[in-house]
Amino acid sequence: MASIFSPSTVPVFLLLVLVLLGRLGEARDPFACDPNDRATKNLPFCKVSLPIRVRVKDLIGRLTLQEKVTLLVNNAAAVPRLGIKGYEWWSEALHGVSNVGPGTKFGGPFPAATSFPQVITTAASFNASLWEEIGRVVSDEARAMYNGGMAGLTYWSPNVNIFRDPRWGRGQETPGEDPILAGTYAASYVRGLQGTNGNRLKVAASCKHFTAYDLDNWNGIDRFHFNAQVSKQDIEDTFDVPFRMCVKEGKVASVMCSYNQVNGVPTCADPNLLKGRVRGQWRLNGYIVSDCDSVGVFYTNQHYTSTPEEAAADAIKAGLDLDCGPFLAVHTEKALEKGLVTEGDVNGALANTITVQMRLGMFDGEASAQPYGKLGARDVCTAAHKELAVEAARQGIVLLKNRGPSLPLSPRRHQTVAVIGPNSNVTVTMIGNYAGIGCEYTSPLQGIGRYAKTIHELGCTNVACSNDKQFGSALNAARQADATVLVIGLDQSIEAETVDRVGLLLPGHQQELVSKVAAASRGPTILVLMSGGPVDVTFAKNDPKIAGILWAGYPGQAGGAAIADILFGAANPGGKLPMTWYPEEYLKSLAMTDMAMRPRRSKGYPGRTYRFYNGPVVYPFGYGLSYSHFLHTLASAPKTVSVPVHGHRHGNTTNISNKAIRVRHARCGKLSVSLHIDVKNVGSKDGSHTLLVFSAPPAGNGHWAPHKQLVAFEKVRVPAKSQQRVKINIHVCKLLSVVDRSGTRRIPMGVHNLHIGDVKHSLSVQAETLGIIKS
């Protein structure tokens, strides 16, 4: 285990100093309202007994115009005369406290933080309670680092964009391709980060990047210039769903608008998106921030306005509260002078940001007296946190192939294991992007070495695998060993922010390495793939010499330990793919810039994600094997459900409602159907099983409906030879509805087919007409 900090390597006296520093860090100077500052401690904005809105109004009323403008940007200036320190808003916590943003740094008593698996990997667990628990741990460590003066309290995470195109370099940051999965992840992780203490915030999360953002740099088109042409239908039923759930169910304190334009308007300058949808329809209780330099981008790169003052005014009037970047600080005052924006508009933006700071307790005086004020260095990288990082990786790893079965390996029969491949001994690769510094790292080689004697050969120097010069030694290792584990795939040189992929095959000569090693191997050959996006490994799927395939995503600081635990059966795999794995041929003539989700068969356009594409796949969404075998039985489920709906005097809405009711005409409330499902583990190993419930809407809905859509999922632990009953609730209006071409959400009447594994249940949805109302 490669540890950056362990008691065995640090002198005792230094440990005492670090502990002392950690405790001193718990008593940081107040951000504002210092009880020792006689000039400010009795001002109304410092009185915690007053409502926050009163305190905010008082503070804004005391600021000069020049001071207000300096607070519109991420590196907000200090206001010394009011006892307010400067604040850096930009911190990141995608899957652990990160030092990507300038608001967080590592050092002193805080050399590291727990680095969990990349989001795409944890999403594969389909375990909402795990996501929330990870959020709680991350926010504990974030608060501890804030108390120690090393971090902020505003974290621009999670990324809940839809993984629409398999080439997207940032798909690894997302929860995958399904809107309900992504939205559930968003709400769960945000609850973990922010806490559930009413209006009080532990840290403030931000769901990003709103909206229809999923292209970084493809075929000469980059995110700074891209205009995403998106239908109302796709906006409503795909791209906006995770953000709506993040705001309405997760109660997130911030939303970040994106670089791209949507239908010709920059998202950070679109009042319909920001004021109308996020703050108006969804009722965001928080602030809206730009992606970094987005305001400058839509002026300089997109030439959306003629002057920088117009750009500043457009952003503020659209509903942007905070600019990540200097643009608003530089140009807002002149925009005010020109009458393009009012001081009232600026006050509105500040009210939203300062309200969040007050909810965080930043204006409550002594930090150590606050609910999380006692957290310090001893609360970072704890044994429990590190164990959760291992467990998260175990739950996210997906078993794709197990011929024979050949897995799990046996420490008795497989005493010597050849560990081969460019990712076989990596550490930092395992934590993906938007990561910090892990507490300690366990590489795949180190993890496997805990179970067997290893023979290590890279085969390729790196994932580019530009030649076969090291193949010979790799083949020799495979010939000598009782089993061979090839750890290959991608890394941030292949897929990352600003780096979209050009294809889905393994880079360079990796496929050749795999096939030759498998042919030479004396024992079973197991392929372990590290990647964020899907990889076309059809060759390995079909090769009888390759006994097993695991997808590990980017499994975090303890990824090697989790991989080895799965390989040797100490843990039973239960992950499911959160995205479709397409063959390389899928990309033929498929422009990454085409945002349409639904197929256009007349033009040869295949559609995107499992909901709309039903062509050939390497592995489908939701696929994943186990060392156990689980059987489903539907214990009870209703056969019909009635949707109360108002009739209409005008138009033919009543007739239409016999086919598909507008959701806004239905009395939805908590209308739901409950399924009771028995899950039996008929295998010999205890295991966790993911129940995925899909709904196929009635036929005849044309372009409204997907082939099927995920409506519920649940993780259940089932001991060997035993059975567990699981209750699933499906909200009828939210989850059985589809969206028509005009972007209107409707509930189709008729038979909806629910699929739970190999169990199918028909549910008849009927309209129950209430009183007549005007259209």
We report the CATH number of the domain holding residue 144 as: 3.20.20.300
| Measured distance CA(58)–CA(46) in Å, rounded | 10
Looking at residue 8, what is its pLDDT? 37
List strand residue ranges (DSSP E) for 384-459, in order: 398-402, 416-420, 440-441, 453-457
| Measured distance CA(710)–CA(580) in Å, rounded | 13
How many CB atoms neighbour CB 681 within 10 A? Answer: 25
Mean pLDDT over each residue of the chain, to the nearest integer: 94
Q: Identify which of 240, 310, 236 has the alpha carbon closest to the alpha carbon of residue 269.
A: 310
158 lies in a domain? yes
- The most distant pair of C-alpha atoms in the chain lies apart, rounded to whole Å, by 83
Q: Which residue has the tokens 């805990």?
A: 450
Residues 461 and 530 in one domain: yes
22 vs 255, higher pLDDT:
255
CA distances to 242, 250, 667 from 671, in Å: 21, 20, 8
How many CB atoms neighbour CB 119 within 10 A? Answer: 32
Strands 546-551 and 398-402: antiparallel
Residues 434 and 461 in one domain: yes
C-beta separation of 558 from 390 below 8 A: yes
**In whole angstroms, what separates CA 722 from the centre of its chain?**
33
Interval 461-477: pLDDT, tens: 999 999 999 999 999 99
Residue 733 DSSP SS3: helix
Residue 521's domain comprises: 393-603
Residues 369 and 397 in one domain: no
Residue 475 DSSP SS3: helix
622 lies in a domain? no
Residue 87 DSSP SS3: strand
| Measured distance CA(333)–CA(457) in Å, rounded | 62
What contacts 24+ positions apart, CB below 8 Å, involve 650-657? 650/774, 650/775, 651/775, 653/775, 654/769, 657/749, 657/767, 657/769
Q: Work out the pLDDT band at 24, boundaries 50, 70, 90.
A: very low
C-beta separation of 662 from 718 below 8 A: no
Count Cα neighbours of 327 within 13 Å in the Cβ-side half-sphere. 29
Strands 687-696 and 750-756: antiparallel
78 lies in a domain? yes
Looking at residue 771, what is its pLDDT? 61
Buried b (16+ CB within 10 A) or exposed e, 359-372: bbbbbbbbbeebeb
Interval 412-442: pLDDT, tens: 999 999 999 999 999 999 999 999 999 999 9
Q: Where are the alpha helices (DSSP H) in 292-369?
A: 294-300, 308-318, 327-337, 343-359
Q: Work out the pLDDT band at 769, boundaries 50, 70, 90.
A: confident
pLDDT, mean of residues 118-122: 98
Q: Work out the pLDDT band at 3, boundaries 50, 70, 90.
A: very low
Catalytic residue among 291, 314, 321, 482: 291
Token digits of residue 31: 């951000």
Number of domains in the chain: 3
Q: Where are the alpha helices (DSSP H) in 206-264?
A: 232-234, 241-248
Read off the CATH number of the domain in which 703 is found: 2.60.40.10
Residue 509 predicted with pLDDT over 50:
yes
Tell which of 536, 568, 603 closes a domain.
603
How many CB atoms neighbour CB 709 within 10 A? Answer: 22
Calculate what percentage of the chain has a pLDDT beyond 90.
Answer: 91
| Measured distance CA(162)–CA(172) in Å, rounded | 11
Backbone angles phi, psi at 194, to 5 degrees: -85, -20
Q: Where are the alpha helices (DSSP H) in 90-178?
A: 119-123, 128-147
C-beta separation of 607 from 599 below 8 A: yes
Looking at residue 2, what is its pLDDT? 41
Interval 70-104: pLDDT, tens: 999 999 999 999 999 999 999 999 999 999 999 99
Q: Identify which of 125, 120, 132 has the alpha carbon closest to the alpha carbon of residue 690.
A: 125
**In whole angstroms, what separates CA 376 from the centre of its chain?**
27
Q: Work out the pLDDT band at 659, boundaries 50, 70, 90.
A: confident
- Give every CB contact of residue 268 below 8 A, 6+ residues apart in sequence: 257, 258, 274, 290, 291, 294, 295, 298, 315, 318, 320
Interval 294-333: pLDDT, tens: 999 999 999 999 999 999 999 999 999 999 999 999 999 9
The mean-pLDDT minimum among 11-15, 55-59, 690-694 falls in 11-15
- Provide the 8-state DSSP code for 685: S
Residues 257 and 359 in one domain: yes
pLDDT, mean of residues 251-262: 98
Residues 504 and 554 in one domain: yes
Q: Which residue has the tokens 């020109």?
A: 338
Residue 647 predicted with pLDDT over 70:
no
Active site residue 291: yes
Q: Provide the residue type at 714 as one letter.
A: E
- Provide the 8-state DSSP code for 116: P
427 lies in a domain? yes
Residues 87 and 173 in one domain: yes
- Provide the 8-state DSSP code for 734: H
44 lies in a domain? no
| Measured distance CA(611)–CA(705) in Å, rounded | 9
Interval 283-295: pLDDT, tens: 999 999 999 999 9
Residues 203 and 327 in one domain: yes
| Measured distance CA(721)–CA(441) in Å, rounded | 36
Backbone angles phi, psi at 380, to 5 degrees: -110, 140
| Measured distance CA(471)–CA(19) in Å, rounded | 49
Residues 597 and 683 in one domain: no
Q: Work out the pLDDT band at 4, boundaries 50, 70, 90.
A: very low
The mean-pLDDT minimum among 182-196, 338-352, 402-416, 757-771 falls in 757-771
What's the full length of the chain, in residues?
775
Backbone angles phi, psi at 245, to 5 degrees: -65, -35
Residues 319 and 247 in one domain: yes
| Measured distance CA(654)–CA(749) in Å, rounded | 12
**In whole angstroms, what separates CA 374 from the centre of its chain?**
29
16 lies in a domain? no
C-beta separation of 681 from 629 below 8 A: yes
DSSP 534-591: ----HHHHH-TTEEEEEE--S--TTHHHHHHHHHTTSS------SS-B--GGGGTT--
Interval 526-580: pLDDT, tens: 999 999 999 999 999 999 999 999 999 999 999 999 999 999 999 999 999 999 9
Residue 20 DSSP SS3: helix
Q: Provide the residue type at 614 as one letter.
A: N
Interval 122-165: pLDDT, tens: 999 999 999 999 999 999 999 999 999 999 999 999 999 999 99
Looking at residue 251, what is its pLDDT? 98
- Give every CB contact of residue 158 below 8 A, 6+ residues apart in sequence: 94, 119, 173, 175, 185, 186, 189, 190, 205, 207, 208
1 lies in a domain? no
Looking at residue 26, what is its pLDDT? 44
Residues 320 and 346 in one domain: yes
Looking at residue 1, what is its pLDDT? 41
Read off the CATH number of the domain in which 596 is found: 3.40.50.1700
Residues 754 and 725 in one domain: yes
666 lies in a domain? yes
Residues 309 and 164 in one domain: yes
771 vs 177, higher pLDDT:
177
Looking at residue 27, what is its pLDDT? 55
Interval 700-744: pLDDT, tens: 765 678 999 999 999 999 999 999 999 999 999 999 999 999 999
Peptide bond into 405 cis (omega under 30): yes
Residue 10 predicted with pLDDT over 50:
no
Q: Provide the residue type at 210 as one letter.
A: F
Residue 590 predicted with pLDDT over 80:
yes
Looking at residue 702, what is its pLDDT? 59
- Give every CB contact of residue 490 below 8 A, 6+ residues apart in sequence: 463, 507, 530, 531, 532, 533, 535
Backbone angles phi, psi at 500, to 5 degrees: -90, 150
